[in-house]
Chain A
């Protein structure tokens, strides 16, 4: 059962890798897009009632860096926030079945 999970995760990895590799040169517009994407992902995690506290913290750091005009840093934080949010989404969806593994029977 476990390595089936390993294999099925592969497509999602590529998705994430793709998103974070496109580190464009730090411009405000890029940052805004990345930040919006991260917020949307975190909102989706919220709908699954499975947000992480570190996602919100990274989003805040991104905003702070952007306000200070450091768009490289802001972009990196926004990307990481998105990755965290996506990870929390993956956690919620995959746990829908995996929780039974540990159930006391």
Chain B
């Protein structure tokens, strides 16, 4: 037995050396090319689900299962996010103590701009998501920031998404190495396995969309953020992108980071970019 384990250790060292030698070559060849990524991303899903039209991927599980689609259509007649949408509309124009309102913080008074978020702010060198921008607007007007996972933030983003319904995602990566790096980090987060269940976002949303995790049918990664924020029957309430990311983490027994952490904003940047061209369908209803 000792001899065999010695050989094992020897070959392990050899393998490690090889790996180390090979690794840099792989990274060098693997320059970051978002345009190609986006094309490959769309091709992967349209090949995997030839019957699903490109723009229908934004309906997530409902484009994957007929029985669910019927239940969705029935819900959409009078959707459960109706109240949150109305609350968001009211809050959006309600003046702060200093008289200004959200409308003054956003281009075009915040109407029909959701499809441009998240964007890369070259002054700060960071990804700015819609939720972050909304809280920054509050802080700029001496108002306390909202929690990223509760109803107020969901109502605001629901209203802004509603005003952009049908407009294609239009995420830009400026010619700035930091933007490319943020995009690449987001991609890495998306494919990195985490949590005791050892799943990455891709394990569910790339390897097995359309299949069930107990009662739920998994959504394809393409267009997965187009319907945000979503009213989930599971939560019987609204959920922002932040709430979705943190709950996904804890479901696979990974400790979630704080909402709107760099990693979360970067993965939202990556996922939105590769879904460019698909229409905004938020706010959405989901199981």
Residues of A within 8 A of B (CB): 1, 3-5, 7-8, 10-11, 46, 49-54, 56, 84, 87-88, 91-92, 95, 97-100, 102-105
Verify if B196 is at the interface (C-beta below 8 Å from A): yes
Selecting from B9-17, B127-135, B138-146, B278-286, the interface stretch reads B9-17
Q: Is B19 an interface residue (CB 8 A)?
A: yes
Number of A-B contacts (CB under 8 A): 79
Does A104 contact B19, Cβ atoms closer than 8 Å? no
Q: Does B111 reach chain A (CB closer than 8 Å)?
A: no
Contact of A7 with B193 in the complex, beta carbons under 8 Å = no
A102 partner, pick from B5, B200, B255, beta carbons under 8 A? B200
Interface 9-mer from B36-44, B73-81, B96-104, B175-183: B36-44
Say how far A30's CB is from chain B's closest CB, in angstroms.
Answer: 26
Q: Is the CB of A7 within 8 A of B15?
A: yes
Contact A97 B40 (CB under 8 A): no
Query: Which stretch in B63-71, B114-122, B184-192 binds the other chain?
Result: B184-192
In the bound complex, residues from chain B placing their C-beta under 8 Å from that of A46 are 255
Taking beta carbons and an 8 Å cutoff, which residues of B are in contact with A? 5, 8-9, 11-12, 15-16, 18-19, 23, 26, 30, 37, 40-41, 44, 187-188, 191-196, 198, 200, 202-203, 206-207, 250, 253-255, 257, 263
Residue in contact with A52 in the complex, picked from B187, B200, B254, CB distance below 8 Å: B254
Tell me if B191 and A10 are in contact (CB < 8 A).
no
User: Is there an interface contact between B12 and A7, defined as CB atoms closer than 8 Å?
Assistant: yes
The one of A10, A52, A97 in contact with B253, judged by C-beta atoms closer than 8 angstroms, is A52
What are the 6 closest A-B residue pairs judged by CB atoms, nearest first?
A4-B15, A7-B12, A51-B255, A99-B191, A99-B192, A104-B44
Residues of A near B26 (CB, < 8 A) are 100
The answer to whether A53 and B12 touch (CB under 8 A), given A95-B193, A102-B206, is no
- For the A-B complex with A4-B15, A53-B254, A91-B194 known, give 8 more contacts whose Cβ atoms are closer than 8 Å: A8-B12, A10-B8, A10-B9, A50-B254, A52-B195, A53-B253, A102-B203, A104-B40
Contact indicator B257/A84 (Cβ below 8 Å): no
What are 13 A-to-B residue pairs whose CB atoms are below 8 Å? A4-B15, A7-B11, A7-B12, A49-B257, A50-B194, A50-B254, A51-B254, A52-B195, A53-B250, A88-B196, A98-B193, A104-B40, A104-B44
Distance, CA A6 to CA B198, complexed state (A): 17
Please state if B253 and A91 are interface contacts (CB–CB under 8 Å).
no
CB pair B19–A53 under 8 Å, yes or no, is: no
Contact A99 B40 (CB under 8 A): no
CB distance from A69 to the nearest CB of B (A): 29
Chain B residues contacting A105 (CB-CB under 8 Å) are 40
Q: Which residue of A lies closest to B23 (CB)?
A: A97
